[in-house]
Amino acid sequence: MSGDPRPGRRFRIGLTQWHATRDVAQNLRTACELIEKSAADGAQLVLLPENGLMLGTNAQMRAAAIWMDGPEIARLSAAARDGAVTVVLGGAKRLVAAGEPARNTAIVIGPDGSVVGGYDKIHLFDARVGGQSFEASSVEQAGSEPVLLRLEDVTIGVTICYDVRFPELYRRLAMSGAEVLLVPSAFTQVTGRAHWETLLRARAIENAAYVVASATVAGPDDAFATYGHALAVDPWGEVLADLGEDLSCYRVLDLDLDTVTRTRDRLPVLRGVRPAAYAAEPRVLTMSV
């Protein structure tokens, strides 16, 4: 969608992608390097992918689960502070209490290095894909509430990966003011080839919002192959960036937030939402043939 050339509200965001392994230390080095580069290019927020710190089997990821006050977050906090940039660790297995299931949390770190809070993934990936079973609920506990991040004058909805298949969550975030929707992911190759771009573009179009989805990408000896193709989509559904299958890369995007307003004025879908009507039990029309 062509934009108005006049200057307006702008937001610069870092889209990232890398091959996440079982080596947490190496993954942390990659994350911090991409944070540094994105910040140097003027990013105000850097989005890291889901499972970017450790990608393995459910058991391996549970064993490597982090604490909010642990050394991994301390390292990312230092990188955020050094770059004076907000960082969203797009999804990590997080321990809440000893002996309890982990949460899959998108952890938000401010430009001063402080941990602002996080979003616990609501929809857990319990599915069988390509002959492989993904039973996330065996090691994770689902979250129960949507989360918005307010960064200066920008309202951002935070989601994680499998959430993208549940449009009602994104509509709720958009109705609450979200102009940018984050979907950090570790999408499987099988579902990625079939659905990734379609789902992300749909969430952008139906909510007239930017969608930014950092991602992990497949490499050798993975517990499961992930799709890559970290993507950014504008409110009209046009793809702004696709990072392909690069094993370590980033791109800083300049989002024109006035485009959100113009798109919502042009197609006022959000003003037409009727929750009360949807809550009614469907009336059934029956006929014989």
Residue by residue, DSSP assigns 187-233 as: -BHHHIIIIIHHHHHHHHHHHT-EEEE-EEB--TT-SS-BB---EEE
Interstrand relation of 132-135 and 86-95 (parallel, antiparallel or unpaired): unpaired
Residue 249 known to be catalytic: no
- Stretch (H or E) spanning 132: strand 132-135
- Count other C-beta atoms under 10 Å from residue 167's C-beta: 14
- Six-digit token string for 211: 């969608």
Q: Which amino acid would we find at residue 168?
A: E
Phi, psi of 215 (to 5 degrees): -155, 155
Marked catalytic residue, from 32, 140, 161, 179 = 161
CB 92 within 8 A of CB 107: yes
Q: Using alpha carbons only, how large is the chain's radius of gyration in Å? A: 19
Check 32, 121, 140, 179 and give the catalytic one: 121
Beta 231-233 vs 147-151: how paired, if at all?
unpaired
* Catalytic entry in 32, 50, 72, 93: 50
Strand-pair category, 66-67 with 86-95: parallel
Q: Among this protein's residues, is 121 annotated catalytic?
A: yes
What is the set of active-site residues?
A: 50, 121, 161
